[in-house]
A and B are shown apart, each in its own frame.
Chain A
Amino acid sequence: KNQVEQSPQSLIILEGKNCTLQCNYTVSPFSNLRWYKQDTGRGPVSLTIMTFSENTKSNGRYTATLDADTKQSSLHITASQLSDSASYICVVSAQGYSTLTFGKGTMLLVSP
């Protein structure tokens, strides 16, 4: 069964600090992995999308890594800002299928 597990469930950090969110998946055969940011009351917004051959991808202060061998991904946030407070969702797509498998998200709170 295709599954995506995210950790931690929630995280509180001080403004200006860095943090790393984890995503483990069992989706097979793998096609791509996406990280989304979802602000409260809003729809998710895509941060990065990575295919099998990509190890790392950055979007401003967000850097995602992918290890296709261990089926793990991480999202690193540098110099956090209050606006980074949101839920971060890891989504994995399987080859040949149109549906996506969603993690339950990590709720990040950046405290002043």
Chain B
Amino acid sequence: KAGVTQTPRYLIKTRGQQVTLSCSPISGHRSVSWYQQTPGQGLQFLFEYFSETQRNKGNFPGRFSGRQFSNSRSEMNVSTLELGDSALYLCASSLRDGGNIQYFGAGTRLSVL
């Protein structure tokens, strides 16, 4: 069974640009969560989608948005990029929301210059 796939793996953008990251969950998983990981803050929760609906949202500005499609694939968008948005963005999928084990993708490394 294929794991969680995130594309692209690496991305370089400049300040003010926007970026879209993609996540394909494990087949059959309906919950997708997004996290930002930086050396100083560790992993921080961005948002979670379940059956195309955003179920929870972390404490990030409105420049960070996401969506989930009917096939459970998810995208995350960051507009008006800032230097501080440079981070590893991780996507995790699980069968359901809540207490299920989450399976993480390898992440997208975003560098904002």
Q: Does B42 contact A (CB under 8 A)?
A: yes
Q: Does B7 contact A (CB under 8 A)?
A: no
Contacts of A36 in B (CB 8 A): 104
A68-108 residues with Cβ-Cβ distance < 8 A to B are 89, 93, 97-100, 102-105
A27-69 residues with Cβ-Cβ distance < 8 A to B are 31-32, 34, 36, 41-46, 49
Q: Which residue of A lies closest to B104 (CB)?
A: A43
Q: How many residues on the B side are at the interface (Cβ–Cβ under 8 A)?
A: 26
Q: How many residues on the A side are at the interface (Cβ–Cβ under 8 A)?
A: 21
**Given contact pairs A97-B56, A99-B56, A99-B58, A46 touches B44 in the complex (Cβ within 8 A):** no
Pairs across A and B, CB under 8 Å, 20 listed: A31-B98, A36-B104, A43-B92, A43-B106, A44-B104, A46-B101, A89-B43, A97-B56, A97-B98, A98-B50, A98-B55, A98-B56, A98-B98, A99-B45, A99-B58, A100-B102, A102-B35, A102-B42, A102-B44, A103-B42
Task: List the interface of chain A (C-beta within 8 A of B).
Answer: 31-32, 34, 36, 41-46, 49, 89, 93, 97-100, 102-105
